A and B are shown apart, each in its own frame.
Chain A
Amino acid sequence: MQIQTLEQPSRRGFLGAASGLTLGFFLPEIGRVSELQAAPATSTVNTWLSIGSDETITLTVGSSEMGQGSFSGLAQILAEDLMVDYGKVVTVQGGPTLAAVAPIGSAINTVGSSVVRTNFWKMRDAAAGAREMLVQAAMNLAGDAVRTNYSVSNGVITHVSDGKTWTYGSVAAAAAKLTPPAAAPLVPDSQFRLIGKTMPRFDIPNKVNGSAIYGLDVRLPNMVYAVIRHCPSLGGTLAKTPTAPSGHTVVPTKVIPLTARGLEAVGNVNAVAVVGAHTWDAWQAARGLNLSWTLPSNAASLNTAQFVADAQALAAKATPYAAGATNGPGTLYTVEGDATVASAAISGSAKTVDATYTLPYVAHACMEVLNCTVDYVPGVKCEVYAPTQSAKSVLSLITTLIPSLQPS
Protein backbone atom coordinates (compact mmCIF):
# COMPACT_ATOMS: atom_id res chain seq x y z
CA MET A 1 0.00 0.00 0.00
CA GLN A 2 1.30 3.41 -0.85
CA ILE A 3 2.09 6.33 1.39
CA GLN A 4 -0.90 7.81 3.07
CA THR A 5 0.59 10.97 4.49
CA LEU A 6 -2.41 13.13 4.09
CA GLU A 7 -2.96 16.80 4.34
CA GLN A 8 -6.07 18.89 4.17
CA PRO A 9 -8.13 17.36 1.38
CA SER A 10 -7.87 19.25 -1.86
CA ARG A 11 -10.65 20.25 -4.19
CA ARG A 12 -13.86 18.29 -3.64
CA GLY A 13 -12.18 16.24 -1.00
CA PHE A 14 -10.02 14.38 -3.45
CA LEU A 15 -6.35 13.97 -2.84
CA GLY A 16 -3.37 12.56 -4.64
CA ALA A 17 -0.44 10.76 -3.05
CA ALA A 18 3.02 10.36 -4.52
CA SER A 19 3.24 6.69 -5.44
CA GLY A 20 -0.33 5.99 -6.32
CA LEU A 21 -3.80 7.40 -6.51
CA THR A 22 -5.57 8.13 -3.23
CA LEU A 23 -9.06 9.53 -3.20
CA GLY A 24 -10.64 10.69 -0.02
CA PHE A 25 -14.36 11.08 0.29
CA PHE A 26 -17.02 11.27 2.95
CA LEU A 27 -19.45 8.64 4.11
CA PRO A 28 -21.95 10.33 6.42
CA GLU A 29 -22.09 9.49 10.07
CA ILE A 30 -25.63 8.41 10.74
CA GLY A 31 -26.82 8.84 14.30
CA ARG A 32 -30.45 8.21 13.57
CA VAL A 33 -32.68 7.84 10.59
CA SER A 34 -33.80 11.47 10.70
CA GLU A 35 -30.23 12.55 9.93
CA LEU A 36 -30.14 10.68 6.67
CA GLN A 37 -30.91 13.82 4.67
CA ALA A 38 -28.17 15.92 6.23
CA ALA A 39 -25.67 17.00 3.61
CA PRO A 40 -22.06 16.28 4.60
CA ALA A 41 -19.43 18.98 4.55
CA THR A 42 -17.29 18.44 1.48
CA SER A 43 -14.18 19.28 3.44
CA THR A 44 -14.70 16.28 5.70
CA VAL A 45 -13.14 13.01 4.67
CA ASN A 46 -13.43 9.67 6.39
CA THR A 47 -13.11 7.10 3.64
CA TRP A 48 -10.17 6.42 1.39
CA LEU A 49 -9.70 4.62 -1.86
CA SER A 50 -6.07 3.86 -2.67
CA ILE A 51 -4.76 2.44 -5.90
CA GLY A 52 -1.10 1.57 -5.58
CA SER A 53 1.60 1.28 -8.19
CA ASP A 54 1.71 -2.39 -7.19
CA GLU A 55 -1.91 -2.80 -8.43
CA THR A 56 -3.33 -3.01 -4.92
CA ILE A 57 -6.76 -1.51 -4.43
CA THR A 58 -7.50 -0.64 -0.83
CA LEU A 59 -10.73 0.76 0.56
CA THR A 60 -10.42 2.10 4.10
CA VAL A 61 -13.78 2.52 5.79
CA GLY A 62 -14.59 4.05 9.14
CA SER A 63 -17.71 1.97 9.73
CA SER A 64 -17.50 -1.27 11.69
CA GLU A 65 -17.85 -4.62 9.95
CA MET A 66 -19.72 -6.81 12.41
CA GLY A 67 -20.83 -9.49 10.01
CA GLN A 68 -23.60 -7.41 8.50
CA GLY A 69 -21.64 -7.48 5.24
CA SER A 70 -21.09 -3.75 4.86
CA PHE A 71 -17.46 -3.98 3.82
CA SER A 72 -18.16 -6.57 1.16
CA GLY A 73 -21.17 -4.58 -0.01
CA LEU A 74 -19.16 -1.37 -0.31
CA ALA A 75 -16.39 -3.22 -2.14
CA GLN A 76 -18.97 -4.65 -4.51
CA ILE A 77 -20.31 -1.18 -5.30
CA LEU A 78 -16.81 0.24 -5.65
CA ALA A 79 -15.59 -2.54 -7.95
CA GLU A 80 -18.56 -2.01 -10.26
CA ASP A 81 -17.74 1.57 -11.18
CA LEU A 82 -13.99 1.27 -10.77
CA MET A 83 -14.30 -1.60 -13.27
CA VAL A 84 -12.14 -4.07 -11.39
CA ASP A 85 -12.66 -7.60 -10.13
CA TYR A 86 -14.56 -7.71 -6.84
CA GLY A 87 -11.85 -9.92 -5.39
CA LYS A 88 -9.18 -7.28 -6.09
CA VAL A 89 -10.55 -4.86 -3.50
CA VAL A 90 -9.01 -5.09 -0.04
CA THR A 91 -11.13 -3.50 2.67
CA VAL A 92 -9.51 -2.07 5.77
CA GLN A 93 -11.07 -0.95 9.03
CA GLY A 94 -10.27 2.69 9.65
CA GLY A 95 -9.28 3.95 13.07
CA PRO A 96 -11.31 6.42 15.10
CA THR A 97 -10.75 10.14 15.20
CA LEU A 98 -12.20 13.16 16.94
CA ALA A 99 -10.93 15.56 14.29
CA ALA A 100 -13.50 17.57 12.36
CA VAL A 101 -11.52 16.90 9.22
CA ALA A 102 -10.79 13.26 9.60
CA PRO A 103 -7.63 11.55 8.45
CA ILE A 104 -7.70 8.12 6.84
CA GLY A 105 -11.03 6.33 7.15
CA SER A 106 -12.14 7.56 10.53
CA ALA A 107 -14.04 5.06 12.61
CA ILE A 108 -17.53 6.36 13.16
CA ASN A 109 -20.64 5.04 14.77
CA THR A 110 -22.18 2.20 12.83
CA VAL A 111 -25.92 2.09 13.42
CA GLY A 112 -29.29 2.12 11.73
CA SER A 113 -28.50 -0.47 9.04
CA SER A 114 -27.27 2.53 7.07
CA VAL A 115 -23.75 1.86 5.78
CA VAL A 116 -24.66 0.56 2.34
CA ARG A 117 -27.94 2.32 1.67
CA THR A 118 -26.64 5.78 2.53
CA ASN A 119 -23.28 5.37 0.80
CA PHE A 120 -24.27 3.73 -2.46
CA TRP A 121 -24.04 6.81 -4.66
CA LYS A 122 -20.99 8.29 -2.94
CA MET A 123 -19.10 5.04 -3.41
CA ARG A 124 -20.10 4.88 -7.06
CA ASP A 125 -19.15 8.50 -7.72
CA ALA A 126 -15.76 8.06 -6.06
CA ALA A 127 -15.06 4.87 -8.02
CA ALA A 128 -16.12 6.39 -11.33
CA GLY A 129 -14.01 9.49 -10.66
CA ALA A 130 -10.96 7.37 -9.89
CA ARG A 131 -11.48 5.28 -13.00
CA GLU A 132 -11.68 8.35 -15.25
CA MET A 133 -8.54 9.85 -13.70
CA LEU A 134 -6.69 6.60 -14.41
CA VAL A 135 -7.96 6.53 -18.00
CA GLN A 136 -7.00 10.18 -18.46
CA ALA A 137 -3.49 9.39 -17.23
CA ALA A 138 -3.20 6.64 -19.85
CA MET A 139 -4.53 8.98 -22.53
CA ASN A 140 -1.95 11.58 -21.57
CA LEU A 141 0.82 8.99 -21.91
CA ALA A 142 -0.53 8.08 -25.36
CA GLY A 143 -0.92 11.73 -26.36
CA ASP A 144 -4.52 11.06 -27.24
CA ALA A 145 -7.46 13.22 -26.17
CA VAL A 146 -10.25 11.00 -27.50
CA ARG A 147 -11.85 9.09 -24.60
CA THR A 148 -13.89 6.84 -26.88
CA ASN A 149 -10.65 5.27 -28.12
CA TYR A 150 -10.31 3.55 -24.72
CA SER A 151 -12.10 0.80 -22.87
CA VAL A 152 -11.60 -0.51 -19.35
CA SER A 153 -11.98 -4.06 -18.07
CA ASN A 154 -10.77 -5.61 -14.82
CA GLY A 155 -8.46 -2.73 -14.03
CA VAL A 156 -6.80 -2.68 -17.46
CA ILE A 157 -7.17 0.26 -19.84
CA THR A 158 -7.07 -0.74 -23.51
CA HIS A 159 -6.77 1.33 -26.66
CA VAL A 160 -9.55 -0.31 -28.62
CA SER A 161 -7.97 -0.12 -32.08
CA ASP A 162 -4.23 -0.62 -31.50
CA GLY A 163 -4.62 -2.94 -28.50
CA LYS A 164 -2.10 -1.13 -26.29
CA THR A 165 -2.83 -1.62 -22.58
CA TRP A 166 -2.08 0.09 -19.26
CA THR A 167 -2.80 -1.42 -15.87
CA TYR A 168 -4.25 0.80 -13.17
CA GLY A 169 -1.10 0.42 -11.12
CA SER A 170 1.11 1.61 -13.98
CA VAL A 171 -0.77 4.90 -14.29
CA ALA A 172 -1.80 5.40 -10.65
CA ALA A 173 1.03 7.80 -9.82
CA ALA A 174 0.35 9.88 -12.93
CA ALA A 175 -3.39 9.89 -12.21
CA ALA A 176 -2.75 11.28 -8.75
CA LYS A 177 -1.54 14.52 -10.33
CA LEU A 178 -4.76 15.08 -12.26
CA THR A 179 -7.81 17.06 -11.26
CA PRO A 180 -10.77 14.83 -10.40
CA PRO A 181 -13.58 15.01 -12.95
CA ALA A 182 -16.70 16.92 -11.96
CA ALA A 183 -19.13 14.18 -12.92
CA ALA A 184 -17.66 10.91 -14.11
CA PRO A 185 -20.13 8.66 -15.93
CA LEU A 186 -21.46 5.70 -13.96
CA VAL A 187 -21.73 2.19 -15.33
CA PRO A 188 -25.22 1.83 -16.88
CA ASP A 189 -27.59 -0.46 -15.01
CA SER A 190 -27.77 -2.75 -18.04
CA GLN A 191 -24.04 -3.45 -17.74
CA PHE A 192 -23.91 -4.27 -14.02
CA ARG A 193 -21.57 -7.14 -13.22
CA LEU A 194 -21.76 -6.84 -9.42
CA ILE A 195 -24.48 -4.50 -8.20
CA GLY A 196 -27.62 -6.46 -7.46
CA LYS A 197 -25.71 -9.75 -7.52
CA THR A 198 -25.05 -12.00 -4.55
CA MET A 199 -21.31 -12.06 -3.95
CA PRO A 200 -19.34 -14.07 -1.37
CA ARG A 201 -18.53 -12.03 1.72
CA PHE A 202 -14.89 -11.34 2.55
CA ASP A 203 -15.29 -12.13 6.24
CA ILE A 204 -16.74 -15.63 5.90
CA PRO A 205 -13.59 -17.76 5.41
CA ASN A 206 -12.04 -16.63 8.69
CA LYS A 207 -15.28 -17.41 10.50
CA VAL A 208 -15.22 -21.11 9.65
CA ASN A 209 -11.76 -21.95 10.98
CA GLY A 210 -11.51 -19.91 14.17
CA SER A 211 -9.02 -17.42 12.78
CA ALA A 212 -11.29 -14.35 12.95
CA ILE A 213 -10.11 -12.26 15.89
CA TYR A 214 -12.90 -11.00 18.15
CA GLY A 215 -12.45 -8.62 21.05
CA LEU A 216 -12.14 -11.51 23.49
CA ASP A 217 -9.35 -13.03 21.39
CA VAL A 218 -6.91 -10.12 21.60
CA ARG A 219 -3.64 -11.26 23.14
CA LEU A 220 -0.90 -8.82 24.10
CA PRO A 221 2.49 -9.60 25.66
CA ASN A 222 2.36 -9.98 29.45
CA MET A 223 -1.35 -9.25 29.59
CA VAL A 224 -3.41 -10.12 32.65
CA TYR A 225 -7.09 -10.83 32.85
CA ALA A 226 -9.77 -9.24 34.97
CA VAL A 227 -13.32 -10.11 35.85
CA ILE A 228 -15.82 -7.80 37.51
CA ARG A 229 -18.29 -8.38 40.31
CA HIS A 230 -21.05 -5.82 40.42
CA CYS A 231 -23.23 -4.69 43.28
CA PRO A 232 -26.46 -6.71 43.09
CA SER A 233 -28.57 -3.53 43.20
CA LEU A 234 -28.40 -0.40 41.09
CA GLY A 235 -27.41 2.49 43.33
CA GLY A 236 -25.61 0.32 45.87
CA THR A 237 -22.03 0.87 46.91
CA LEU A 238 -19.09 -1.19 48.07
CA ALA A 239 -19.08 -1.04 51.89
CA LYS A 240 -15.53 -2.23 52.38
CA THR A 241 -12.62 -2.91 50.07
CA PRO A 242 -11.97 -6.64 50.27
CA THR A 243 -8.58 -8.20 50.76
CA ALA A 244 -7.00 -9.67 47.68
CA PRO A 245 -7.09 -13.45 47.82
CA SER A 246 -3.77 -15.23 47.92
CA GLY A 247 -2.60 -18.27 46.06
CA HIS A 248 -2.28 -16.76 42.63
CA THR A 249 1.38 -17.02 42.06
CA VAL A 250 1.85 -16.18 38.39
CA VAL A 251 0.58 -12.62 38.64
CA PRO A 252 -0.20 -10.92 41.95
CA THR A 253 -3.94 -10.73 42.22
CA LYS A 254 -5.29 -7.30 42.90
CA VAL A 255 -8.73 -6.13 43.77
CA ILE A 256 -9.57 -2.77 42.27
CA PRO A 257 -12.62 -0.83 43.40
CA LEU A 258 -14.49 0.50 40.39
CA THR A 259 -16.30 3.78 40.11
CA ALA A 260 -19.78 3.46 38.73
CA ARG A 261 -20.97 5.10 35.56
CA GLY A 262 -24.51 6.24 34.91
CA LEU A 263 -26.76 8.99 36.19
CA GLU A 264 -27.99 7.06 39.21
CA ALA A 265 -24.60 6.16 40.59
CA VAL A 266 -22.12 8.92 39.77
CA GLY A 267 -19.14 8.64 42.05
CA ASN A 268 -20.24 5.38 43.62
CA VAL A 269 -17.90 2.45 43.88
CA ASN A 270 -20.29 -0.30 42.87
CA ALA A 271 -18.06 -3.08 41.60
CA VAL A 272 -14.71 -4.70 42.07
CA ALA A 273 -12.36 -6.01 39.43
CA VAL A 274 -10.19 -8.98 40.22
CA VAL A 275 -7.02 -9.39 38.22
CA GLY A 276 -5.41 -12.73 37.63
CA ALA A 277 -3.07 -14.64 35.39
CA HIS A 278 -5.88 -15.88 33.19
CA THR A 279 -9.65 -15.66 32.98
CA TRP A 280 -10.40 -18.67 35.13
CA ASP A 281 -7.87 -17.62 37.77
CA ALA A 282 -9.46 -14.18 38.08
CA TRP A 283 -12.92 -15.69 37.95
CA GLN A 284 -12.27 -18.11 40.78
CA ALA A 285 -10.73 -15.36 42.90
CA ALA A 286 -13.71 -13.08 42.25
CA ARG A 287 -16.18 -15.79 43.17
CA GLY A 288 -14.34 -16.38 46.41
CA LEU A 289 -14.49 -12.78 47.55
CA ASN A 290 -16.70 -12.04 50.51
CA LEU A 291 -18.07 -8.67 49.46
CA SER A 292 -20.04 -6.30 51.60
CA TRP A 293 -22.42 -3.90 49.89
CA THR A 294 -24.40 -0.93 51.14
CA LEU A 295 -27.67 -1.30 49.31
CA PRO A 296 -29.82 1.69 48.37
CA SER A 297 -32.81 2.47 50.59
CA ASN A 298 -35.20 1.43 47.83
CA ALA A 299 -33.45 -1.89 47.19
CA ALA A 300 -36.48 -3.86 48.33
CA SER A 301 -38.64 -2.26 45.65
CA LEU A 302 -36.18 -2.76 42.78
CA ASN A 303 -38.05 -5.61 41.15
CA THR A 304 -40.03 -6.27 37.99
CA ALA A 305 -43.45 -5.97 39.65
CA GLN A 306 -42.55 -2.55 41.05
CA PHE A 307 -41.11 -1.40 37.71
CA VAL A 308 -44.38 -2.29 35.98
CA ALA A 309 -46.45 -0.56 38.67
CA ASP A 310 -44.25 2.55 38.46
CA ALA A 311 -44.50 2.58 34.67
CA GLN A 312 -48.28 2.29 34.74
CA ALA A 313 -48.54 5.08 37.29
CA LEU A 314 -46.31 7.27 35.13
CA ALA A 315 -48.30 6.44 32.01
CA ALA A 316 -51.44 7.73 33.72
CA LYS A 317 -50.01 11.08 34.70
CA ALA A 318 -46.80 11.74 32.80
CA THR A 319 -46.28 14.78 30.60
CA PRO A 320 -46.64 13.89 26.92
CA TYR A 321 -43.70 14.38 24.63
CA ALA A 322 -43.60 17.83 23.04
CA ALA A 323 -41.35 18.78 20.14
CA GLY A 324 -38.69 21.21 21.26
CA ALA A 325 -39.40 20.71 24.97
CA THR A 326 -36.95 19.30 27.51
CA ASN A 327 -38.78 15.94 27.64
CA GLY A 328 -36.96 14.74 30.75
CA PRO A 329 -37.23 11.39 32.52
CA GLY A 330 -40.81 10.18 32.78
CA THR A 331 -41.93 11.75 29.50
CA LEU A 332 -44.80 9.91 27.83
CA TYR A 333 -43.52 9.30 24.31
CA THR A 334 -46.48 7.46 22.81
CA VAL A 335 -49.05 10.24 22.66
CA GLU A 336 -49.72 11.23 19.08
CA GLY A 337 -52.18 13.83 17.94
CA ASP A 338 -54.53 15.73 20.19
CA ALA A 339 -55.37 13.87 23.41
CA THR A 340 -58.65 15.77 23.86
CA VAL A 341 -59.79 14.75 20.39
CA ALA A 342 -58.92 11.16 21.19
CA SER A 343 -60.81 11.32 24.48
CA ALA A 344 -63.86 12.74 22.74
CA ALA A 345 -63.71 10.02 20.10
CA ILE A 346 -63.44 7.32 22.72
CA SER A 347 -66.32 8.66 24.81
CA GLY A 348 -68.47 8.94 21.69
CA SER A 349 -67.81 5.40 20.55
CA ALA A 350 -70.39 2.64 20.81
CA LYS A 351 -67.76 0.15 21.77
CA THR A 352 -64.31 0.62 23.29
CA VAL A 353 -61.51 -1.87 23.82
CA ASP A 354 -59.19 -1.37 26.77
CA ALA A 355 -55.92 -3.30 26.86
CA THR A 356 -52.56 -2.88 28.54
CA TYR A 357 -49.42 -4.18 26.92
CA THR A 358 -46.15 -4.46 28.79
CA LEU A 359 -42.73 -5.37 27.50
CA PRO A 360 -39.96 -6.85 29.62
CA TYR A 361 -37.05 -4.66 30.64
CA VAL A 362 -34.62 -6.25 28.21
CA ALA A 363 -31.03 -5.50 27.35
CA HIS A 364 -29.89 -4.46 23.89
CA ALA A 365 -27.64 -7.47 24.06
CA CYS A 366 -24.34 -7.58 22.24
CA MET A 367 -23.34 -10.58 20.16
CA GLU A 368 -19.97 -11.06 21.80
CA VAL A 369 -19.58 -11.21 25.56
CA LEU A 370 -18.76 -7.70 26.79
CA ASN A 371 -15.02 -7.25 27.04
CA CYS A 372 -12.12 -5.05 26.16
CA THR A 373 -8.35 -5.16 26.28
CA VAL A 374 -6.34 -2.10 27.22
CA ASP A 375 -2.64 -1.41 26.79
CA TYR A 376 -2.10 1.57 29.06
CA VAL A 377 1.23 3.19 29.77
CA PRO A 378 0.56 6.29 31.90
CA GLY A 379 1.65 9.44 30.14
CA VAL A 380 2.55 7.52 27.01
CA LYS A 381 -0.35 5.61 25.50
CA CYS A 382 -3.71 4.02 26.04
CA GLU A 383 -4.66 1.55 23.32
CA VAL A 384 -8.10 -0.01 23.55
CA TYR A 385 -9.18 -3.14 21.71
CA ALA A 386 -12.93 -3.51 21.98
CA PRO A 387 -15.78 -5.10 20.07
CA THR A 388 -17.72 -1.91 19.46
CA GLN A 389 -19.73 -0.19 16.80
CA SER A 390 -18.91 3.19 18.35
CA ALA A 391 -15.14 3.50 18.15
CA LYS A 392 -15.40 7.27 18.15
CA SER A 393 -17.28 7.19 21.46
CA VAL A 394 -14.59 4.97 22.97
CA LEU A 395 -11.90 7.42 21.88
CA SER A 396 -13.90 10.32 23.24
CA LEU A 397 -14.32 8.57 26.60
CA ILE A 398 -10.60 7.86 26.88
CA THR A 399 -9.65 11.46 26.20
CA THR A 400 -12.16 12.53 28.85
CA LEU A 401 -10.82 10.07 31.44
CA ILE A 402 -7.16 10.70 30.59
CA PRO A 403 -6.91 14.35 29.49
CA SER A 404 -3.13 14.16 29.23
CA LEU A 405 -3.48 11.72 26.33
CA GLN A 406 -4.86 12.88 23.02
CA PRO A 407 -5.52 10.87 19.86
CA SER A 408 -2.40 10.25 17.83
Chain B
Amino acid sequence: MTLTLNVNGKSSTVTVSDGGMPLLWVLRDLLGLTGTKYGCGIEVCGACTVLVDGQPERSCDFDVSSAVGRKIVTIEGLSTNRSHPAQQAWIANQVPQCGYCQSGMLMAVAGAMNAGQHGANIMGEVNNLCVCGTYGRIKSACAKL
Protein backbone atom coordinates (compact mmCIF):
# COMPACT_ATOMS: atom_id res chain seq x y z
CA MET B 1 0.00 0.00 0.00
CA THR B 2 1.08 3.58 -0.63
CA LEU B 3 0.88 6.01 2.24
CA THR B 4 1.41 9.75 2.41
CA LEU B 5 3.13 11.01 5.51
CA ASN B 6 3.88 14.49 6.79
CA VAL B 7 7.44 14.29 8.07
CA ASN B 8 9.27 17.40 9.23
CA GLY B 9 6.80 19.61 7.41
CA LYS B 10 7.17 17.85 4.08
CA SER B 11 4.85 15.41 2.37
CA SER B 12 6.47 12.03 1.73
CA THR B 13 5.04 9.01 -0.05
CA VAL B 14 6.09 5.53 0.99
CA THR B 15 5.12 2.08 -0.22
CA VAL B 16 4.84 -0.61 2.43
CA SER B 17 3.52 -4.14 2.35
CA ASP B 18 2.04 -3.88 5.83
CA GLY B 19 0.44 -0.90 7.52
CA GLY B 20 1.71 -2.36 10.77
CA MET B 21 5.30 -1.58 9.82
CA PRO B 22 6.68 0.53 12.64
CA LEU B 23 7.18 4.20 11.87
CA LEU B 24 10.81 3.83 13.01
CA TRP B 25 11.74 1.62 10.07
CA VAL B 26 9.84 3.74 7.60
CA LEU B 27 11.82 6.76 8.77
CA ARG B 28 15.19 5.00 8.84
CA ASP B 29 15.10 2.56 5.93
CA LEU B 30 12.58 4.07 3.52
CA LEU B 31 13.00 7.81 4.08
CA GLY B 32 16.68 7.76 5.05
CA LEU B 33 16.14 9.73 8.26
CA THR B 34 18.69 7.86 10.37
CA GLY B 35 18.81 10.35 13.23
CA THR B 36 16.03 8.38 14.92
CA LYS B 37 17.65 5.35 16.52
CA TYR B 38 16.70 1.74 17.11
CA GLY B 39 17.50 0.68 20.64
CA CYS B 40 15.29 -1.97 22.24
CA GLY B 41 12.34 -2.29 19.88
CA ILE B 42 9.90 -2.74 22.80
CA GLU B 43 9.12 0.87 23.76
CA VAL B 44 11.42 0.85 26.77
CA CYS B 45 14.62 2.75 25.96
CA GLY B 46 13.20 5.70 24.04
CA ALA B 47 16.02 6.00 21.47
CA CYS B 48 13.34 5.99 18.75
CA THR B 49 11.25 8.83 20.18
CA VAL B 50 9.69 11.20 17.65
CA LEU B 51 6.90 13.75 17.91
CA VAL B 52 3.47 12.90 16.49
CA ASP B 53 1.24 15.96 16.53
CA GLY B 54 3.64 17.42 19.07
CA GLN B 55 3.49 14.51 21.47
CA PRO B 56 6.42 12.14 22.02
CA GLU B 57 5.87 8.63 20.68
CA ARG B 58 8.08 5.54 20.63
CA SER B 59 8.30 5.03 16.88
CA CYS B 60 9.57 1.42 17.19
CA ASP B 61 6.05 0.30 18.02
CA PHE B 62 3.95 2.94 16.27
CA ASP B 63 2.18 1.62 13.18
CA VAL B 64 2.96 3.67 10.11
CA SER B 65 -0.71 3.54 9.12
CA SER B 66 -1.53 5.41 12.35
CA ALA B 67 0.83 8.19 11.35
CA VAL B 68 -1.10 9.11 8.22
CA GLY B 69 -2.65 12.55 8.48
CA ARG B 70 -0.58 13.52 11.50
CA LYS B 71 2.45 15.76 11.81
CA ILE B 72 5.60 13.76 12.44
CA VAL B 73 8.74 15.53 13.62
CA THR B 74 12.08 13.73 13.90
CA ILE B 75 15.39 14.99 15.31
CA GLU B 76 16.27 16.19 11.81
CA GLY B 77 13.22 18.44 11.89
CA LEU B 78 13.47 19.73 15.45
CA SER B 79 15.20 22.79 13.98
CA THR B 80 17.15 23.56 10.85
CA ASN B 81 20.19 24.94 12.67
CA ARG B 82 20.34 23.42 16.15
CA SER B 83 18.37 26.41 17.42
CA HIS B 84 15.71 24.57 19.45
CA PRO B 85 16.24 25.58 23.10
CA ALA B 86 16.83 21.95 24.06
CA GLN B 87 19.53 21.56 21.40
CA GLN B 88 21.16 24.77 22.58
CA ALA B 89 21.03 23.56 26.17
CA TRP B 90 22.48 20.19 25.13
CA ILE B 91 25.46 21.92 23.49
CA ALA B 92 25.94 24.38 26.34
CA ASN B 93 25.97 21.55 28.89
CA GLN B 94 27.96 19.17 26.65
CA VAL B 95 25.37 16.49 27.32
CA PRO B 96 26.06 13.66 24.83
CA GLN B 97 28.78 11.10 25.28
CA CYS B 98 28.33 8.33 22.73
CA GLY B 99 25.15 10.14 21.77
CA TYR B 100 23.18 7.14 20.54
CA CYS B 101 20.21 7.85 22.83
CA GLN B 102 20.30 11.62 22.51
CA SER B 103 18.06 12.03 19.46
CA GLY B 104 15.29 10.30 21.34
CA MET B 105 16.17 12.10 24.54
CA LEU B 106 15.91 15.50 22.85
CA MET B 107 12.59 14.62 21.21
CA ALA B 108 11.20 13.48 24.55
CA VAL B 109 12.35 16.75 26.13
CA ALA B 110 10.87 18.75 23.25
CA GLY B 111 7.62 16.86 23.73
CA ALA B 112 7.57 17.67 27.43
CA MET B 113 8.18 21.33 26.59
CA ASN B 114 5.29 21.21 24.11
CA ALA B 115 3.15 19.94 26.96
CA GLY B 116 4.04 23.04 28.95
CA GLN B 117 6.70 21.59 31.22
CA HIS B 118 9.65 23.67 32.32
CA GLY B 119 12.90 23.13 34.21
CA ALA B 120 13.06 20.19 36.58
CA ASN B 121 9.50 19.17 35.67
CA ILE B 122 10.66 18.18 32.20
CA MET B 123 12.57 15.25 33.64
CA GLY B 124 9.37 14.02 35.23
CA GLU B 125 8.00 13.47 31.74
CA VAL B 126 11.10 11.78 30.31
CA ASN B 127 11.88 8.14 31.03
CA ASN B 128 14.37 7.52 28.21
CA LEU B 129 17.46 5.48 29.00
CA CYS B 130 21.11 6.51 28.52
CA VAL B 131 23.74 3.78 28.86
CA CYS B 132 26.54 6.35 29.17
CA GLY B 133 24.73 7.80 32.18
CA THR B 134 24.45 11.42 31.06
CA TYR B 135 21.47 12.02 33.35
CA GLY B 136 23.34 14.57 35.48
CA ARG B 137 24.04 16.78 32.50
CA ILE B 138 20.53 16.24 31.12
CA LYS B 139 19.19 17.49 34.44
CA SER B 140 21.45 20.55 34.26
CA ALA B 141 20.46 21.21 30.65
CA CYS B 142 16.75 20.95 31.43
CA ALA B 143 16.99 23.18 34.48
CA LYS B 144 16.93 26.37 32.41
CA LEU B 145 14.38 25.26 29.81
Contact B17 A210, beta carbon cutoff 8 Å: no
Q: Which residue of B lies closest to A201 (CB)?
A: B94
Contacting residue for A67 out of B34, B79, B82, B132, CB 8 A: B132
Known contacts A66-B98, A67-B98, A209-B79; A216/B131 CB under 8 A: no
Residues of B within 8 A of A208 (CB): 82, 87, 90-91, 95-96, 102, 106
Q: Mark A218-256, 1 if CB is under 8 A from B, else 0.
A: 010000010000000000000000000001110000000
Tell me, in angstroms, the Cα distance from A219 to B33 when the chains sit together. Answer: 11
Q: Tell me the smallest distance from the CB of A365 to a CB of chain B, in Å.
A: 7
26 cross-chain CB contacts under 8 A = A66-B98, A67-B97, A67-B99, A200-B91, A204-B91, A204-B94, A205-B82, A207-B96, A208-B91, A208-B96, A209-B75, A209-B78, A209-B79, A209-B82, A210-B33, A212-B99, A214-B34, A214-B100, A216-B34, A216-B38, A217-B34, A219-B34, A249-B17, A278-B29, A284-B18, A369-B38
B16 shortest CB reach to chain A, Å: 8
A280 to B14, CA, bound (A): 14
Which of the residues A200, A209, A279 comes within 8 Å of B29, measured between beta carbons?
A: A279
Interface of B is mostly: loop
A-contact 0/1 string along B85-122, CB 8 Å cutoff? 00100110011111110110010000000000000000
Looking at the assembled complex, report how far the CB atom of B112 sits from the nearest CB atom of chain A, in whole angstroms.
16
Cβ of A408 under 8 Å from chain B: no
Q: A208-B87, A280-B29, A365-B131 are in contact. Are A213 and B97 (CB under 8 A)?
A: no
Tell whether, in the assembled complex, residue A225 and residue B94 are in contact, meaning their CB atoms are under 8 Å apart. no
A349 beta carbon closer than 8 Å to chain B: no
In the complex, per-residue mask of A357-383: 1 if CB is within 8 Å of any chain B CB, else 0: 000000001011100000000000000
A29 within 8 A of B: no
A281 within 8 A of B: yes
Chain B, interface size category, equals 35 or more
Q: Report whether A279 and B39 are in contact in the complex, using a CB–CB cutoff of 8 Å.
A: no
A204 to B102, CA, bound (A): 10
Secondary structure class of chain A's binding surface, majority of residues: loop
The reply on B10 being an interface residue by CB < 8 A is: no
Q: A371's closest neighbor in chain B, by CB? A: B38
> By the criterion CB–CB under 8 Å, are A213 and B34 in contact?
yes
Interface digits, B55-73 against A, CB 8 Å rule (1 contact, 0 not)?
A: 0000000000000000000
Q: Add 20 more A-B contacts to A67-B98, A209-B79, A210-B75 (CB < 8 A).
A: A67-B97, A68-B97, A203-B96, A204-B96, A207-B102, A208-B82, A208-B102, A209-B35, A209-B82, A211-B35, A213-B34, A214-B37, A216-B37, A217-B28, A279-B28, A279-B29, A279-B38, A365-B131, A367-B100, A368-B98
The reply to whether the CB of B44 lies closer than 8 angstroms to some CB of chain A is: no
Q: Name the B residues within 8 Å of A247 (CB-CB).
A: 17
Q: Which residues of the partner chain B approach A214 to less than 8 Å between Cβ atoms? A: 34, 37, 100
Q: Say whether B32 faces chain A, with CB atoms less than 8 Å apart.
A: yes
Q: Which residues of B contact A225 (CB under 8 A)?
A: 29
Most-contacted residue by chain B among A207, A208, A211, A213 (CB, 10 A)? A208
Residues 181-216 of A, flagged 1 when their CB comes within 8 A of B and 0 if not, give 000000000000000000011011101111111101
Q: Determine the chain A residues whose CB is within 8 A of the CB of B143 once the complex forms.
A: none
Q: A280 and B132 in contact (CB under 8 A), knowing A67-B96, A208-B91?
A: no
Leading 10 A-B pairs by shortest Cβ distance: A210-B35, A207-B99, A210-B75, A278-B29, A217-B34, A67-B98, A280-B25, A207-B96, A67-B97, A367-B98
Distance in angstroms from A389 CB to nearest chain B CB is 11
Per the bound structure, the CA–CA distance linking A281 and B75 in Å amounts to 24
Known: A204-B91, A209-B82, A210-B35. A368 touches B103 (CB 8 A): no
Contacts of B74 in A (CB 8 A): 210
Within 8 A of A (CB), among B1-58: 17-18, 21-22, 25, 28-30, 32-39
